[in-house]
Structure 1
Amino acid sequence: MRVGQARGIALTGVSGTPVMVECDISRGLPGMSIVGLGDTAVVQARDRVRSAMINSGLDWPKSRVVMSLSPASVPKRGSGFDLPMVLAILTAQGLVPLEDPRSTIVVGELGLDGTVRPVDGVLPMLLAADRAGFRRAAVPRANGVEASRAARVTGLEVVGLSHLRELVPWLRGEVPDGQGCAPEQGETTDPTEPAAPCPDLSEVCGQSEARRGLEIAAAGGHHLWLSGPPGSGKSMLAERLPGILPPLQEGEQLESAAVHSVAGARGRLAAVWRGERPFVAPHHSVTRAALTGGGAGRIRPGAVSLAHNGVLFIDEAPEVAAGTLELLRTPMESGRIEVARHHGTVGFPARFQLVLASNPCPCGAAEPVDCRCRGGVRDRYLQRLSGPLLDRVDLTVRTWVEPTGGLVPGTGTAVSAPESSAQVRGRVVEARHRALHRWRHWTSNAAVPGPFLRRDYPADDAGMAVLQEKLRTGTVSHRGVDRTLRVAWTMADLAGAPRPGTSEVLDALEMYTGAVDRDPATGTGPGTGRRPVT
Structure 2
Amino acid sequence: MNYANVKSRVLLGVCAHAVTVEIHLTPGIPRFTIVGLPETAVRESKDRVLSALNTCGFKLPAKKITVNLAPADLPKQGSHFDLAIALGILAANEQLPQAELDQYEFIGELSLSGELKLRDNMLAIALAHKENLPMILPSTDDPSGIVSRSTLYGADHLNAVIAHLKKQATLSRLETHNTLLDTPHALDIINIKGQSQAKHALMLAAAGGHSLLMSGPPGTGKTMLASHLASILPPMKKDEAIESAIVRLLHHNVFDNKSAWQRPFRSPHHSASHIALVGGGNPPRPGEVSLAHLGILFLDELPEFTRATINALRQPIEDGRITIARASHSVDFPARFQLIAAMNPCPCGYYNDPEHECRCTPAQIQNYLAKISGPILDRIDMQIHVPRISIDELNATETDTLGHSVYIREQVVKVREKQLSRQGKINAQLNGEELNSITVFNVEAKHTLDEAAKRFKLSIRSYHRVMRVARTIADWQSQDTVSKAHVLQALSYRLLNTVF
The verdict on a shared fold, with TM-score over 0.5 as the criterion, is yes
Match of 2:244 in 1: 256
Equivalent pair of 2:4/2:98 in contact (CA under 8 Å): no
Superposed, 1:476-491 pairs within 5 Å as: 476-491=458-473
**Residue identity matched to 1:400:** P
Residue 286 of structure 2 is aligned with which of 301, 308, 325?
301
Corresponding residue for 1:181? 174
**1:414 to 2:397 alignment:** yes
CA-CA distance at 1:39 after TM superposition = 0.5
Aligned position for 2:186: 198
Matched residue, 1:231: 219
CA shift digits 1:164-215 (9 cap, x unpaired):
22110121234447x22258xxxxx998999585222123111111111100
Amino acid paired to 1:342: A
The answer to whether structure 1 residue 165 and structure 2 residue 152 are counterparts is no
CA distance in 2, matches of 1:416, 1:9: 55
| Matched-pair contact (CA < 8 Å) for 1:307–1:350 | yes
Q: Where in structure 2 are the equivalents of 1:68-147 lying within 5 Å?
A: 68-99=68-99, 101-122=101-122, 125-126=125-126, 130-131=130-131, 134-142=132-140, 145=143
Structure 2 distance, partners of 1:175, 1:241, is 50
Which of 415, 425, 431 is 1:449 aligned to?
A: 431
Q: Which amino acid aligns with 1:502?
A: K
Q: 1:259 Cα shift? A: 2.3
Q: Deviations over 1:127-160 (max 9, x none)?
A: 66544xx52221111286389632xx34x3x211
* Structure-1-length-normalised TM-score: 0.86
Distance 1:194 1:216 in 2: 21
Match of 1:492 among 471, 474, 485: 474
CA distance in structure 2 between the aligned counterparts of 1:511 and 1:404, rounded to whole angstroms: 26
Mark the CA change 1:47 to 1:182 in structure 2 (over 3 Å): closer, same or farther. farther
Separation in structure 1 between the aligned mates of residue 144 and residue 76 of structure 2, nearest angstrom = 22
Cα distance change of structure 1 residues 356 and 505 upon mapping to structure 2, 3 Å threshold? same
From 273, 277, 302, the counterpart of 1:317: 302
Residue identity matched to 1:282:
P
Q: Aligned equivalents of 2:479 and 2:175: distance in 1?
A: 49
Choose 41-50 or 52-61, whichever is displaced more: 52-61
Residues 455 and 192 from structure 1, CA distance in 2 versus in 1: closer, same or farther, beyond 3 angstroms?
closer
Cα distance in structure 2, aligned partners of 1:365 and 1:29: 79
Assess, with a 3 A threshold, how the Cα gap between structure 1 residues 2 and 437 changes in structure 2: closer, same or farther: closer
Gaps of 5+ in 2: none
Tell me the residue number matched to 2:415: 431
| Cα distance in 1 for residues equivalent to 2:392 and 2:110 | 58
In structure 2, the CA distance between the partners of 1:148 and 1:310, relative to structure 1 (3 Å rule), is closer
Query: What TM-score, normalized to structure 2?
Result: 0.92
Pairing 1:382–2:365 present: no
- Deviation for aligned residue 1:394: 0.8
Could you tell me which residue of structure 2 aligns to residue 14 of structure 1? 14
Cα distance in 2 between the residues matched to 1:436 and 1:191? 21
**Is the Cα contact below 8 Å between 1:160 and 1:182 reproduced in 2?**
no
Residue identity in the other structure for 1:451: E
Q: Could you tell me how far 1:62 is from its partner in structure 2?
A: 4.1
Q: Which amino acid aligns with 2:162?
A: V
Contact 2:439 2:482 (C-alpha < 8 Å) held by counterparts? no
CA distance in 2 between counterparts of 1:269 and 1:309 reads 17
Give how far 1:217 is off. Answer: 0.3
Contact residue 144 and residue 181 of structure 1 kept, 8 A: no
- Note closer, same or farther for the CA distance 1:101–1:204 as it changes in structure 2 (3 Å cut): same
Following TM superposition, by how much is the alpha carbon of 1:416 offset from its aligned partner in structure 2, in angstroms? 3.3
Per the alignment, do residues 402 and 149 of structure 1 end up closer, same or farther by CA in structure 2, a change over 3 Å counting? Answer: closer
Match of 1:149 among 135, 147, 171: 147
Superposition deviation, residue 221 in structure 1: 0.7
Aligned partner of residue 324 in structure 1, secondary structure: helix
In the alignment, which of 403, 424, 430 is matched to residue 390 of structure 2? 403
Change (3 A) 1:269 1:344: farther
Residues 23 and 85, structure 1, Cα contact 8 Å, conserved in 2: yes
Q: Given that residues 462 and 501 in structure 1 are in contact (C-alpha distance below 8 angstroms), is that contact kept between their aligned partners in structure 2?
A: yes
In 1, are the aligned partners of 2:8 and 2:21 still within 8 Å (CA)? yes
Provide the secondary structure at the position in 1 that maps to 2:154.
strand
Instruction: Give, in whole Å, the separation in 2 of the partners of 1:325 and 1:485.
Output: 25
CA RMSD of aligned residues (A): 2.6
Alpha carbons 2:180, 2:238 under 8 Å: kept:
no
Aligned to 1:280: 266
Which segment drifts farther, 455-464 or 9-18?
455-464
Q: Distance in 2 between matches of 1:438 and 1:66?
A: 55
Alpha-carbon separation, structure 2, partners of 1:36 and 1:455: 50
Corresponding residue SS for 1:160: strand
Change (3 A) 1:387 1:38: same
Q: 1:337, 1:292 → 2: CA distance?
A: 7
Matched residue, 1:371? 358
**CA 1:245–1:456 in structure 2 vs 1: closer, same or farther (change >3 Å)?**
closer
Supply the distance in 2 between the matched residues of 1:485 and 1:197 (Cα, whole angstroms): 31
Confirm whether residue 394 of structure 1 aligns to residue 376 of structure 2.
no
8 Å Cα contact 1:32/1:64 also seen in 2: yes
Tell me the CA shift for residue 41 of structure 1.
Answer: 0.7
- How far 1:380 moved relative to its partner? 1.5
> Is 235-244 or 362-371 further displaced after alignment?
362-371
Name the SS for the 1:406 alignment partner: helix
Instruction: Look up the equivalent residue of 1:103 and give its one-letter code.
Output: Q
Greater mean alpha carbon deviation, residues 380-389 or residues 140-149: 140-149
CA distance in 2, matches of 1:26, 1:371: 81
Residues 208-258 of structure 1, C-alpha deviations (whole Å, 9 max, x = no match): 111111001001110000112222111111111121011212222222223
Distance 2:168 2:181 in 1: 31
Shift in Å at residue 4 of structure 1? 2.6
Deviation at 1:55, TM superposition (A): 2.8
1:330 corresponds, among 293, 303, 315, to 315
The list of structure 1 runs, each at least 4 consecutive aligned residues, that deviate by more than 6 angstroms after superposition, is 189-194
- C-alpha distance in structure 2 between counterparts of 1:193 and 1:467, whole Å: 42
**Unpaired segments ≥5 residues, structure 1:** 184-188, 516-528
Secondary structure at the aligned position of 1:407 is classed as helix
